[in-house]
Amino acid sequence: MRAPRVAYFPDSFHEVNGVAHTSRNFVGYAERHGLPFLCVRAGGRATAFEQAGELRTLELGRSRASVRMEKDLEFDALFWRHTAAIEFELKRFSPDIIHITGPSELGMFGAYFAWKMGVPLAASWHTNVHEYLARRMAHMTSRMSETQAAATDRAIENGTLKAATQFYRLAQVLFAPNAELCAMLETATGRTCHLMQRGVDTALFTPARRTRPINDSMVRLGYVGRLSVEKNIALLTRVRAELEAAGIGPVEFFIVGQGGDEETLRRELPDAHFAGVLRGEALAAACADMDVLVFPSHTDTFGNVVLEALASGVPAVVTPDGGPKYIVRDGETGFVVPDGGFAEAVGRLVLDRKLLAQFRTAARAYALRCSWDAVFDKVYAAYEPVLARPACVNEPG
């Protein structure tokens, strides 16, 4: 069976987030295996087309009217000006399937052209937009009574989730990074959902990049991710205070990332080191130099940074919500605990260096069994039943 021709429309590609990370690795997979693949994405202000073998890239510039959603994320209401360029490249490429990652400008284009060209649409769920929006709106509900605020938060979350799942019903096959989300999507959309987990580059993320002594008396607690309310970063301050109150230490926080709440976190953790955004070898070295990853998010659908930490031989403490709980083996490669248990879990590893060493070894061993090729092999296998169905061409009007 010939390899399907895949046109991929990612919400994010160059930014620092899970969607972008997965998307870059998806393109890398197609390139390594010589698969016919067209990636249509946004980037900067310029528009350009490139081709290298079977891999084609159409990078579309955003307008100056773009609305900044986060420090490195934008939404361009004028993106429709690229309609002709996208249609031209799609017709030239002649895809068998179009794959989108969410209801962004790119996702809307992908869904539209899948309908117009009569090709199947695949959609992967990467971000819990309903939970993010509810937390971002918290500043508006903070002056309400507790009951009113809770009701408003539920209404925002439920309304956003309903709108998002309606959009995902346009696809013939769905993907999600964990079983919990797959079950939710299947119930809400009536579509089949397959696991699309994440892989890790164990040659890049490795304990060998550590520069600090393994028996350093100072324990480095790391955090990697966006510095914003939906990541529950306020818990980092609480963990620091509880460890100090219990006389557990010495510890230092090493924060990697940027976001709207960075200034607040800097005030509340004055002794922490803020490294900003790191990529590639710099990020890998920073991870290897951590002793424990403290990842308090309740909203992450997977948690790439958690897997990267494990590959670096760094155990992680995560919440029982979202995707990270599927990565960390509680009591073996880290701990899965509610917010109130974070300081105690971290304290166990700070005080028991033998236990910390055991977790390091187990974390690395687990990560060695993960690979991006295995992830995307399964994605292509999930395309097959959809591609076997008869196609029909739809023309607008």
Per-residue pLDDT of 178-212, as tens digits, reads 888 899 999 999 999 999 988 999 999 999 999 99
The CATH number given to 6-199+372-387 is 3.40.50.2000
Q: 54 Cβ partners below 8 Å, 6+ apart?
A: 30, 34, 35, 36, 37
**DSSP conformation letters of 50-70:** EEETTEEEEEEPPPTTPEEEE
pLDDT at residue number 163: 80
On the question of pLDDT at 334 being above 90, the answer is yes
Band of pLDDT at residue 249, cut at 50, 70 and 90: confident
CA distances from 28 to 23, 38, 55, 132, 233 (A): 9, 12, 9, 29, 32
Residues of the chain with CATH 3.40.50.2000: 6-199+372-387, 207-367
- Taking domain 207-367, whether its CATH number is 3.30.110.30 is answered by no
Least confident range from 70-74, 102-106, 123-127, 360-364: namely 70-74
On the question of pLDDT at 153 being above 80, the answer is no
The tokens describing 71, both together, are 């420090």
pLDDT at residue number 303: 87
Q: What number is the average pLDDT over the span 242-252?
A: 95
Alpha carbon distance 349, 346 (integer Å): 5
The tokens describing 83, both together, are 């309609």
On the question of pLDDT at 258 being above 90, the answer is yes
Task: Describe the crossing of helices 105-117 and 83-93 by its angle, rounded to 10 degrees.
Answer: 50
The tokens describing 304, both together, are 């790439």
CB 172 within 8 A of CB 189: no
Q: Which amino acid is at 44?
A: G
CB 70 within 8 A of CB 226: yes
